[in-house]
Amino acid sequence: MTLIGFGLFWIRDAQGPDDDGPHKLTAPSTMSFATYYRAGDESDPHLSSEDPKVLKWHEMEKPTEIAASYSDELLDNVDTSDPDAAQDTLQRAQNGKRFSVTGAYGRFDKPELALAYYFDLVKDKLTEATDKAPGHVVSSLDVPEDTEADSLEGGAVMRCADLKVDSWDDDNPATETTVCGWADYSTVGVVTPYDGTLPVSKEDSAELTGNIRTEMRVEN
């Protein structure tokens, strides 16, 4: 048992998941398992990080970060010359299904430990965002728990944690969702899904995360 950041994690003594060779993460313009469109243009989704927690990531060699957001509403062709129509499109996207995904690829020796550290990074970023956010926004992430999903292909571990975002602003009600992440020997990712203002269950988030991993992960 290992203490990491904000929780206790059981690290199995067995061999762990199978290693299917080096892979990298991409951010395709659409997802094939459901109607999702990537936000923004086709620019490189890779991030250039100077964060020492990433650059010196425990159990990972030369991590390359990636981030992307997806929505069931196509936002690339929003007509900004018509403010009312543009606002309607943005509102539909806000009320629809969407998700953000952040991750990295490189080389892991212990996927379970790497995923625990990545969740720790996610919590740190939520804390930073809370400190900077207007309107007294407070984000709280529970301790991640081991999770299984039919969509998660072999060679990976998965954990999920409940996320709650509270705001003192009456125009922005509290939001609840379930954040899920995976790790294997060369990739790690965390998915934050939303369904309008409805909570997203652990089961639904886990299945979504497994499908996203399959779409984004390619042989390197």
pLDDT digits (tens, 9 = 90+) for 17-29: 678 888 999 999 9
Give the list of residues 6+ apart from residue 24 with CB closer than 8 angstroms, or none. Answer: 64, 105, 186, 187, 217, 218, 219, 220
Pair 19, 214: CB distance under 8 Å: no
211 against 89, higher pLDDT:
211
Interatomic CA distance for residues 177 and 142, integer angstroms: 11
Residue 186 has pLDDT above 80, yes or no: yes
Interatomic CA distance for residues 127 and 147, integer angstroms: 24
Interatomic CA distance for residues 38 and 69, integer angstroms: 6
Residue 162 CB neighbours (<10 A): 19
Residue 86 has pLDDT above 80, yes or no: no
Pair 93, 77: CB distance under 8 Å: no
pLDDT at 165: 82
Rounded to the nearest integer, the mean pLDDT of the chain is: 80
Residue 159 has pLDDT above 80, yes or no: yes
Mean pLDDT highest for which of 74-88, 89-103, 130-144?
Answer: 89-103
User: CA neighbours within 13 Å on the CB side: how many for 133?
Assistant: 17
Interatomic CA distance for residues 95 and 20, integer angstroms: 38
Say what the pTM is. 0.81
Percent of the chain with pLDDT over 90: 43
Residue 12 has pLDDT above 50, yes or no: no
Average pLDDT over residues 82-89: 70
Give the list of residues 6+ apart from residue 181 with CB closer than 8 angstroms, or none. Answer: 115, 118, 119, 122, 144, 158, 159, 160, 188, 189, 190, 191, 209
Interatomic CA distance for residues 220 and 212, integer angstroms: 17
- What is the pLDDT confidence band of residue 126, given thresholds at 50, 70 and 90? confident
22 against 172, higher pLDDT:
22
Pair 94, 58: CB distance under 8 Å: no
pLDDT at 188: 94
